[in-house]
A = this chain, B = another copy of it.
Amino acid sequence: MHVQHCIISAPGKAILHGEHAVVHGKVALAVSLNLRTYLELTATSTGKVSLDLPNIDTFLSWDVSELQLLAADSSATQEESKRLDPELLRRLREFVGVTNGNLDTRSMATLAFLYIFLSLFGSGELPSLSVSVWSELPTGAGLGSSAAYSVCLAAALLTASGAIPAPLKDAANTARWCQEDMELINSWAFQGEKIIHGNPSGVDNAVGTWGGMLRFLSGKIIPLSRVPLLRILLTNTKVPRSTKLLVAGVKDRLNKFPSIINPVLDSVDAISCTCEKTLAEMTSEPITGEHYNVLEELIDINQSQLNVLGVGHPSLDTLCRVTLTHGLHSKLTGAGGGGCGITLLRPETDSSVVLHTIQDLRDCGYDCWETSIGGPGVQQHAPPSVRGEILEHFGPR
Residues in chain A within 8 A of chain B (CB atoms): 253, 256-257, 259-261, 263-264, 266-267, 270-271, 273-274, 297-298, 300-301, 304-305, 307-308, 310, 312, 314, 317, 321, 324
Given contacts A259-B270, A259-B273, A270-B260, contact A314 B321 (CB under 8 A): yes
Partner of A304, one of B266, B273, B308, B314: B308
Partner of A274, one of B259, B273, B300: B259
Partner of A308, one of B260, B261, B301, B312: B301
Residues of B within 8 A of A256 (CB): 297
Residue of B nearest to A258 (CB): B270
Residues of B within 8 A of A267 (CB): 259-261, 263-264, 267, 308
Residues of B within 8 A of A317 (CB): 317, 321
In the docked arrangement, what's the CA distance between A395 and B266, Å? 58
Minimum C-beta distance from A387 to chain B (A) = 39
Q: Name, among A253, A266, A271, the residue most crowded by chain B CB atoms within 10 Å (CB to CB).
A: A266
Minimum C-beta distance from A200 to chain B (A) = 30
Top 3 nearest A-B pairs by Cβ distance?
Answer: A263-B263, A259-B270, A304-B307
In the docked arrangement, what's the CA distance between A257 and B277, Å? 12
Q: Report yes or no: B257 in contact with A263, Cβ–Cβ below 8 A.
A: no
Given contacts A304-B304, A317-B321, contact A271 B263 (CB under 8 A): no
Q: Report yes or no: A270 in contact with B274, Cβ–Cβ below 8 A.
A: no
Besides the known contacts A257-B274, A304-B305, 9 further A-B residue pairs in the complex with CB atoms under 8 A apart: A253-B297, A259-B267, A259-B273, A260-B301, A263-B264, A263-B267, A304-B304, A314-B321, A317-B317
Minimum C-beta distance from A272 to chain B (A) = 10
In the docked arrangement, what's the CA distance between A175 and B170, Å? 95
Residues of B within 8 A of A301 (CB): 257, 260, 308
In the docked arrangement, what's the CA distance between A230 and B111, Å? 59
In the docked arrangement, what's the CA distance between A217 and B274, Å? 30
In the docked arrangement, what's the CA distance between A298 and B256, Å? 11
Residue of B nearest to A325 (CB): B314
Residues of B within 8 A of A266 (CB): 263
In the docked arrangement, what's the CA distance between A308 and B308, Å? 9
Residues of B within 8 A of A304 (CB): 304-305, 307-308, 312
Residues of B within 8 A of A308 (CB): 267, 301, 304-305, 308
